[in-house]
A and B are shown apart, each in its own frame.
Chain A
Amino acid sequence: MLLVLSEEHKEHLGFLTQVDSAVVGEFGRIAVEFLRKGTNPKIYEGAARKLNVSSDIIQHGVEGLTYLLTEGSKLMISEIDFQDSVLVLGFSEELNKLLLQLYLDNRKEIRSILSELAPKLPSYHSLEWRLDVQLASRSLRQQIKPAVTVKLHLDQNEDQTTKILQTDPATLLHLIQQLEQALGEMKTNHCRRIVRNIK
């Protein structure tokens, strides 16, 4: 699958031919940093002064590069497809190689950042448990009532929540049995076939 670049996009990336490869590498680093932490317009101004161009041009260059890297990472395009997509820009051999390297080096991290954008439910973080035996209450003395109290830690969008829950021994065994069945499902022929065939 090839990346289709718009005219505007090609124009923005055109700026990269006018600087040397160290600068392109630097732009690449800035692009990934912006993906990690968000954009910082001051960086554009600093670079604009050093290279003696307007900060708009710098911004377009970095954004063009960012789009190239994220689209490639999102679609998980192969090396060959990436090279072919970039060929249409008419860059030098050296610049093409540099862009490919930038793509391959950062693809995994960019994909991991993109996966954070998906709709999500609270996810499991960890579990602590405690065994209790209730001996008496206001309404009944001389009891022996075992219970398991758990503290479930969940993550949701960088907030950690905890839930305190309790269960009795019979339900605990039932939970274990049900969830072991769930774990076993991935090993069934049906699931294996699906995993093998969806690529």
Chain B
Amino acid sequence: MELSEYVQSGLQTLADSGCFSPSAYTVLLQTAFQSLLNAQADQVALDHPVLKHIDPTVLKHCHAAAATCILEAGKHKADKSTISTYLEDCKFDRERIEQFCTEYQKNKDTLEIILGSIGRCPLHITDVSWRLEYQIKTNQLHKTYRPAYLVTLNVENSDSRSHPDVSFSCTMEQLQDFVGKLKDAAKSLERASQM
């Protein structure tokens, strides 16, 4: 893991028991994790009484440093020994390293999910709805008498915002073709997952 000077110095301050008492360290560590994982978290968390006597600038620096370290570890799927080694280099004592790793282990999966969901992708299909109708006549043509399907694909873009749905009409044969091709894709997915 490679982190900037700013982050390293923040971590070194965090390691220093003269600046951060054991309880202050615990609180800051938990706050750092919560601010990353909990979408509703806000600045209030840094107002904990145990942190009151620490200079706010220092608090922010250490909080940012801890958060960056957590993200880097998550991004590279770092294992315990990598994290331990890095924290050792930042002068963390055994106990604080253990605490960090335990907290990290607890939150690792959620962190990975969040990191994995960041990024661009084509419009994502989330659901489908369909309608079957039997056409009888139009004003230009009577006695048409044929079934038709209207298919709507519910679609989201990469920010999970909804996007106008994709709708199309089709005959029974066309729908069979569509479903057939989707089944080919599913079969090939199954084969690939068995390799």
Contact A122–B147 (Cβ < 8 Å): no
A131 to B75, CA, bound (A): 25
A171 to B76, CA, bound (A): 28
- Among A6-14, A85-93, A141-149, the stretch that binds chain B is A141-149
Q: Contacts A140-B116, A165-B166, A198-B136 given: A179-B122 contact, CB under 8 Å?
A: no
Whether B57 sits at the interface, judged by CB under 8 Å, is no
Contact B136–A172 (Cβ < 8 Å): no
Contact A141–B140 (Cβ < 8 Å): no
Which residues in window 92-146 of B have CB below 8 A to A? 112, 115-116, 118-119, 121-130, 132, 134, 136, 138, 140-145
- The DSSP consensus for interface residues of chain B is mixed
Contact B181–A129 (Cβ < 8 Å): yes
Q: Count how many chain B residues have C-beta atoms less than 8 Å from C-beta atoms of the other chain.
A: 57
Which residues of chain B are within 8 angstroms of A148 by Cβ–Cβ distance? Answer: 185, 189
Size range of the chain A interface in the assembly: 35 or more
Which residues of chain A are within 8 angstroms of B74 by Cβ–Cβ distance? Answer: 140
Contact B76–A141 (Cβ < 8 Å): yes
Flag B141-170 by CB within 8 Å of A: 1 or 0 each: 111110101110101000000000011111
Which residues of chain A are within 8 angstroms of B136 by Cβ–Cβ distance? Answer: 198
Binding site for A on B (CB under 8 A): 74-77, 112, 115-116, 118-119, 121-130, 132, 134, 136, 138, 140-145, 147, 149-151, 153, 155, 166-170, 172, 174-179, 181-186, 188-189, 192-193
